[in-house]
Amino acid sequence: MMKRDFLTVADLREDEVRTLLRETARLKRRRTIGRHALANRTIALVFEKPSLRTRVSFEVAIRQLGGSSIFLGPDEVQLGEREPIKDVARTLSRYVDAIVLRMLRHRQVEGFARYASVPILNGLSELHHPCQALADLFTIQERFGKLKGLVISYIGDGNNVLHSLSQGASLLGANLHVATPNGYRPDRGIWSQVVRQAKAHHARIVLRDDPEAVVSRADVIYTDVWASMGDEQEQGIRRKAFRQFQVNRKLLRLAKPHCLVMHCLPAHRGEEITENVLEGPRSIVFDQAENRLHVQKALLLMLFAGKMPR
């Protein structure tokens, strides 16, 4: 069977995403499903960035499916310094059955996919965070029973999280209302594709620079850190640019009464979100975190087996 990679949400068809979300719910309800599916399989986790949720959720997912994992941090691999990506990818392909990556640059993920003969899963790059987006979509569907027609309001940086969330939301017919400061908008190429996809699926996509203007019809308000990993040197500049983009009680009062709050974590309390909102009754951030585990189990089963176990 030809190997299949998962580098962006756009790698999946609409029917595949819907099947994935449905099977995620089944795996969450019955945690023994597929417990031997990855027996005798070994998956390498190659990470250039620190990680809590991505690393632990993948390691636990692999173990619960009967497989084993090997973690390789930046000191072990030293991509581009000790060895080029093409050598690492081809060598690891002789040892393991799949590779999960958490890379500084998306081109590195694409390089692994080009040279590896085993499936590549993008755990994060500076342009995409597709596993997070799948968990986010599942979490929203779990709470509302649907995605189509809902309004997701994203407040903050036009980063990898927004790119992947917008790809998934537009594919499934959810409306996405986004507010970012000028100069911190999403990638033009990715956003153009999202706008076209949203039109094809009868979803409304809005991009503005005023948070209050995009939350009035929100079913979900989503935010992320103002300075992503690798942008820490811009922290001071970004605090000034984003100071009107905080998710707080005042902003939440402008949304629908049932509006829920999401954040992919880690959070900087008092910056992009206040403590009382993050810890408040509308926050579902730890549901998001948990659901990384379940959706990644479904994803691994899809990539390896091509179908879900019964």
Q: State how far the Cα of 101 lies from the Cα of 111, in Å rounded to an integer.
A: 11
For 176, phi then psi, to 5°, come to -125, 115
Other beta carbons less than 10 A from residue 206's beta carbon: 15
Contacts for 226-233: CB closer than 8 Å, 24+ residues apart: 226/156, 226/157, 226/268, 226/271, 226/272, 227/157, 228/126, 228/157, 228/159, 228/160, 229/49, 229/50, 230/49, 230/104, 230/126
Do residues 280 and 261 touch, judged by C-beta distance below 8 A?
yes
Q: Which tokens hold the place of 113? A: 């996919």
Do residues 162 and 194 touch, judged by C-beta distance below 8 A?
no
Q: Which tokens hold the place of 202? A: 């009868």
For 142, phi then psi, to 5°, come to -60, -40
Q: Which tokens hold the place of 121? A: 């899963």
Residues identified as active-site? 102, 129, 132, 224, 264, 292
Instruction: Using DSSP, state whether 186 is helix, strand or coil.
Output: coil
Do residues 281 and 239 touch, judged by C-beta distance below 8 A?
no
